[in-house]
Amino acid sequence: MSRFIPVIGLEVHIELATKSKMFCGCSADHFAKEPNTQVCPVCLGLPGALPYANFSAIEQTVMFGLSMNCKINRFSKFDRKHYFYPDLPKGYQISQYDFPFCVKGKFQIPNSKNQIRIRRIHLEEDTAKLVHQFGDSKEKGISLVDFNRSGVPLVEMVTEPEFSDVDSVISFLQEIQLLVRYLGISSADMEKGSMRLEANISLAKAQKSKLQSEDLPNYKVELKNINSFRFLRKALNAEIKRQKRILRKGGKVTQETRGYDEYKNITFSQRIKEEAMDYRYFPEPDIPPIRFSKTQIEDIKSKIPELPAAKRKRLEEKYGISKEYIEILVQDKRRCDYFEKSCEISGNKELSAKSIAGALINQNLDRKFESPYEFIRYLKKISKKYYSSLKEIEDAIQKVLSDNSKAVKDYHEGNSNVIGFLIGQVQKMLKGRGEPKLIRESLIKALQKD
Amino acid sequence: MVGITKDQVKHISRLSKLSLSKDEVNKFQKQLGEIVEYVRTLELVKLNDTAPTSQTTELTNVYRNDLIGVDGLDQKSALSGTEEVYNGYFKVPSIFKKV
């Protein structure tokens, strides 16, 4: 029986968290708002309205591209992509065609040796939101349109079809979500639709263990409308199974778009592409092209914070804590900052980074103590199992003073150097449990009373 | 005259969601063909020394800052130009065919 290797590529859409929309000043924060209350002639597509590009959105797209090791096109422009649908009142979407902001990137899959090449990252406007109401048997269903989402800046990233296993797809996507959150350019929340996934998948017959480019299949099936990592994993596995079954019987897989039915755990046909989509792209005449200077790109680059991959490496080198702890901290930037601040405060003397991380993660002490200072003070307190009481200290001092009358005499004759020796003797009697400062104070008091 | 083919007319009508009768296909084939032919006169212009461009204004980098504007429409005005509304939404025929 022949072996098949999955060939998977991804398309990821991310809504940018700008204040205003891509081409107008309406609020871009559209989730759960009253329908059609954040709209204007531009995002409603009314005749004569002119788009006016939001620079923050462009900057954030370039920042994302640089983080994905992309080349930034020094010359870029917007284009009109035409199609006919009720969520698109202009009859076209302003997108980017032949000069996207970012091209030819590469990105490391976490915990893997494999890199995935990024084909392009471009910026476009989101469409209106459609709500479908299915009527009863008499009434025909209707569709409802809310334009609050129309015109929200939307970044699209396209990878090369270089994934050959589902685990890599999921860890890649989770890393993208984390990266975007580190950059602060999107909440990348899939339930709210600010991160959306699409995968194209086909199976290649493997002649040898490694895939040769000539073995690439001549079809692909697109999986769309999948709104969680868990469902994507299931959908991909179900689709791989389906395609294997067809190919083993000597059949041909139809090129089409499929959705995923979570109840039946199968994919189902949504649309068969009879002819190649004809979007009739042309340059958007209402938006002048964009030229970046080298310094501008450098400037954007300098705004990129430490990213998850670099953070993992640094945490390992600097603190030597376990991979599990590192991952928990990297996933939660605030928690990681708290941890690092705590290590800084503790000064690495009495408390190891490991014990700080352990207490923080296993006991959730960062929730109990708002400030890392309080946290560390608490840790120091509990790490010394037992402190000698004042009474124990005073008793020990009396004993030491009577046992070392020579030293006491020296002290009264002006040799204050003996104090150190006496403190050492007291501490020895207390088995090291005395607080040095308290011993010193009590000792001097006792000597002066003598 | 090169013009355009009947298949091209049908393709364009499909993209525009227009259904054309046979007579209309013939009619638009002729009209669209004439338009294409007219635009073709541009080929007479000598462009050897002209760099290609996608625009004519010569402007670049026209941006605005990320600020919320005050020129938005309220829901009532936004919906005022449409025929049917439903709970603050624009109402359109179902985009799903009945199965």
Which CATH number fits the domain that encloses residue A428? 1.10.10.410
Cross-chain residue pair B96–A143, CB shorter than 8 Å:
yes
Contact of B98 with chain A, judged by CB distance below 8 Å, is answered with yes
Comparing alpha-carbon positions, the chain A residue that sits nearest to B14 is A84
B75-86: pLDDT as tens digits: 999 999 999 999
Average pLDDT over residues A278-303: 95
How many C-beta atoms surround the C-beta of residue B20 within 10 A? Answer: 17
Residues A254 and A158 in one domain: yes
**Same-domain pairing of A233 and A312:** no
Read off the pLDDT of each residue in B26-47 and give the average, rounded to a whole number. Answer: 93
Please give the structure tokens belonging to residue A362: 């296993």
Q: Does A45 touch chain B (CB under 8 A)?
A: no
Nearest CB partner across the interface for A25, out of B69, B95, B96: B69
What is the pLDDT, as a whole number, of residue B1? 52
Question: Is residue A383 scored above 90 in pLDDT?
Answer: no
One domain, residues A287 and A321 = no
State the pLDDT confidence band at B98, using cuts at 50, 70 and 90. Answer: very low
What tokens does A125 get?
A: 């406007």
Angle between helices A353-362 and A323-331 (to 10 degrees): 60
Q: pLDDT band at A181, cuts 50/70/90?
A: very high
Kindly tell me if the per-residue pLDDT of A332 is higher than 70: yes
Q: How confident is the model at residue A446 (pLDDT cuts 50, 70, 90)?
A: confident
Choosing among B10, B54, B74, B85, which should be mutated to test the A contact, i.e. which has the most A CBs within 10 A? Answer: B54
- Which pLDDT value is given to residue A84? 85
**Model pTM score:** 0.83
A382 CA: distance to closest CA in chain B (Å): 50
B51 vs A: CB within 8 A: no
Say whether both A113 and A40 belong to one domain: yes
3-state secondary structure chain B: CCCCCHHHHHHHHHHCCCCCCHHHHHHHHHHHHHHHHHHHHHHHCCCCCCCCCCCCCCCCCCEECCCCCCCCECHHHHHCCCCCEECCEEEEECCCCCC
Residues A222 and A362 in one domain: no
Domain limits for position A397: 390-449
User: Which residue in chain B is spatially nearest to A136 when comparing CA positions?
Assistant: B98
| Sign of CA pseudo-dihedral A184, A186, A188, A191 | positive
Amino acid sitting at position B22: K
Confidence of residue A229 (pLDDT cuts 50, 70, 90): very high
Going across the sheet that includes A282-283, the strands are: A92-95, A79-82, A282-283
Domains contained in chain B, CATH given:
6-44 (1.10.20)
Nearest-angstrom CA–CA distance, A102 and A107: 13
User: From residue B93, how far is each of A37, A46, A133, A144 by CA, in Å?
Assistant: 22, 20, 10, 8
Q: Are A215 and A252 in contact (CB under 8 A)?
A: no
pLDDT at position A350: 67
Contact A42, A49 (CB under 8 A): yes
Contact A258, A277 (CB under 8 A): no
Taking the Cβ of residue A85 and every Cβ of chain B, the question of whether any pair is shorter than 8 Å is answered with: yes
Beta bridge partners of A203: A6
The shortest C-alpha distance from A121 to chain B (Å) reads 19
Average pLDDT over residues A19-48: 96
Burial of A440 (0-12, 13-18, 19+ CB in 10 A): middle
Q: Is B18 on the interface with A (CB under 8 A)?
A: no
- Tell me, yes or no, whether A361 and A258 share the same domain: no
The answer to whether residue B61 neighbours chain A at the CB level (below 8 Å) is yes
Place B99 in a pLDDT band, splitting at 50, 70 and 90. Answer: very low
Of B17, B66, B91, which is closest to A55 when you measure between CB atoms? Answer: B66
* A278, A316: one domain: no
Contacts of B54 in chain A (CB under 8 A): 77, 283, 289
Nearest to A86 among B65, B73, B92 (CB): B92
Q: What is the percentage of chain A residues whose pLDDT exceeds 70?
A: 92
Q: Which residues does chain A have within 8 Å of residue B90's beta carbon, measured at their own beta carbons?
A: 36, 86, 144-147
Would you call A36 and B78 a contact, using CB atoms and an 8 Å cutoff?
yes
Q: Going by DSSP bridges, is the β-strand pair A53-54/A221-226 parallel, antiparallel, or unpaired?
A: unpaired
Q: Does A361 touch chain B (CB under 8 A)?
A: no
Any chain A CB within 8 A of the CB of B73?
yes
| Alpha carbon distance A18, B66 (integer Å) | 7
pLDDT at A153: 98
Instruction: Please give the average per-residue pLDDT across A3-13, as a whole number.
Output: 94
Per the structure block, which two tokens stand in for A3?
Answer: 């072996």
Contact A154, A95 (CB under 8 A): no
Would you tell me how many other CB atoms lie within 10 Å of the CB of residue B61?
14
Same domain membership, residue A292 and residue A263? yes
Whole-angstrom distance, CA of residue B2 vs CA of residue A104: 40
Other C-beta atoms lying within 10 Å of the C-beta of residue A168: 18
> Which pLDDT belongs to residue A183?
97
pLDDT at A215: 66
The predicted complex's ipTM stands at 0.89
Higher-pLDDT residue of A71, A224: A71
pLDDT band at A386 (very low <50, low <70, confident <90, very high): low
Residues A249 and A318 in one domain: no
Domain end residue (candidates: A250, A272, A300): A300
Q: Are A331 and A211 members of one domain?
A: no
Which of A107-111, A134-138, A378-382 shows the lowest mean pLDDT across its residues?
A134-138
Judgement on whether residues A315 and A404 belong to the same structural domain of the protein? no
Alpha helices in A39-131 (DSSP H): 41-44, 55-67
pLDDT at A222: 93
Residue with the larger pLDDT of the pair A385 and A203: A203
Element (H, E) at A75: strand A75-76
Angle at A364 between CA A360 and CA A370, to 5 degrees: 85
- Inter-chain residue contact A35 with B87, CB threshold 8 Å: yes
A178 contact partners, CB below 8 Å, separation of at least 6: A308, A330, A331
- Measure CB to CB from residue B64 to each of A55, A278, A289 and give the nearest one: A55
Is the Cβ pair A37, B64 closer than 8 Å? no
Q: Which of A252, A284, A300 is the last residue of a domain?
A: A300
Mean pLDDT over the full length of chain A? 89
Q: Is pLDDT above 50 for A68?
A: yes
Name the domain boundary from A383, A401, A422: A383
A132 touches chain B (CB under 8 A): yes
pLDDT for residue A288 is more than 90: yes
- A151 with A218, same domain: the answer is yes
* Cα dist from A47 to A86, A89, B81, whole Å: 16, 10, 12
The answer on pLDDT for A289 being more than 90 is yes
CA A369 to chain centre: 25
Residue of A16, A83, A133, A145 to mutate when probing chain B, most B C-beta within 10 A: A145
Q: How many domains does chain A have?
A: 3
A56-70, A163-177, A265-279, A416-430: lowest mean pLDDT where? A265-279
The mean per-residue pLDDT over the stretch A177-206 comes to 94
Predicted confidence at residue A27, as pLDDT, reads 97
